[in-house]
Amino acid sequence: MRPAAPHRLLLSSLCLALCCLGGARGSRRSDNHEWKKLIMVHHWPVTVCKEVENDCRDPPDYWTIHGLWPDKAEECNGSWHFHLEEIKDLMPEMKMYWPDVIHPLNHSHFWKHEWEKHGTCAAQLDALNSQKKYFGGSLDLYRDLNLNSMLQKLGIKPSINYYQVSDIKDALASIYGVIPKIQCLPPQQGEEVQTIGQIELCFTKELRLRNCTEPGEPGGPGGPAPRGPRTGVSGGTGLEVCEDGPAFYPPPPGALP
């Protein structure tokens, strides 16, 4: 029976090699979940409705939360499922400031998507490492940024007149001290200009404001403007980094005489 020993040794060596290979693969997968900054994404409900070609009923007339997104990671833990009861204490604020604009009677599907795609990655931070911390922390950042009031203070209001994208970016940079990123819908057939849809403000892992783009980066000062679709809420895919030039900041339906 002794000749069986070399076979056992060979089998053990093979198992060790496979384990090492599996570990190497696992480490490569974890690399895909590393990220450097968090993006607080505000979207303008009127443009959300236009983006998905949905005739929304009474969309909010203020900027709402699209999400809090790590910049280079998605779906970091497929087994960490969304449970609505974990954020029940946040429900009034969630419905007000983080609504599903397209499906106002069923917000939870939108929140589930945001948690499973982005929250499970943001949870690498102790400050955001539970569903209540992720959604509660996002609401805190939204309140602290106070984008709606800042735009009003800067005199940037929905209007039938066009704004220069660079003027909006410069005005926001003067308030926050960092460079934001603005997303637009490109002009559709028969339209003259792009339509403002999202404003992004970015944070470090220490939750301090930082530039969303740096000089030379796509979309940053001196860098090319990236083109191509960005996934929006409820299936919208038309948003792109705004081009320098005029842009339409559309008023809510019925807001103008």
Output b/e per residue, 59-92; b: 16+ Cβ within 10 A: bbebbbbbbbbbeebeebeeeeebeeeebeebee
d(CA 24, CA 156): 51
Catalytic residue at 93?
Answer: no
d(CA 169, CA 179): 7
The single residue listed with the structure tokens 């001290």 is: 177
Centroid of chain to Cα 203: 12
What are the structure tokens assigned to 35, written together?
């990220």
Catalytic residue at 114?
Answer: yes
Radius of gyration for the alpha carbons in the chain, expressed in angstroms and rounded: 23
Residues 50, 198: contact at Cβ < 8 Å? no
Catalytic residue at 43?
Answer: no
What are the structure tokens assigned to 3, written together?
């000749």
Q: Choose the catalytic residue: 42, 118, 200, 240.
A: 118
What are the structure tokens assigned to 194, written together?
């792009």
Residues 249, 161: contact at Cβ < 8 Å? no
Q: Choose the catalytic residue: 51, 114, 116, 240.
A: 114
Q: Choose the catalytic residue: 42, 43, 66, 240.
A: 66
Output b/e per residue, 207-218; b: 16+ Cβ within 10 A: eebbbbbeeeee
Q: Would you please indicate which residues are annotated as catalytic (active-site) residues?
A: 66, 114, 118
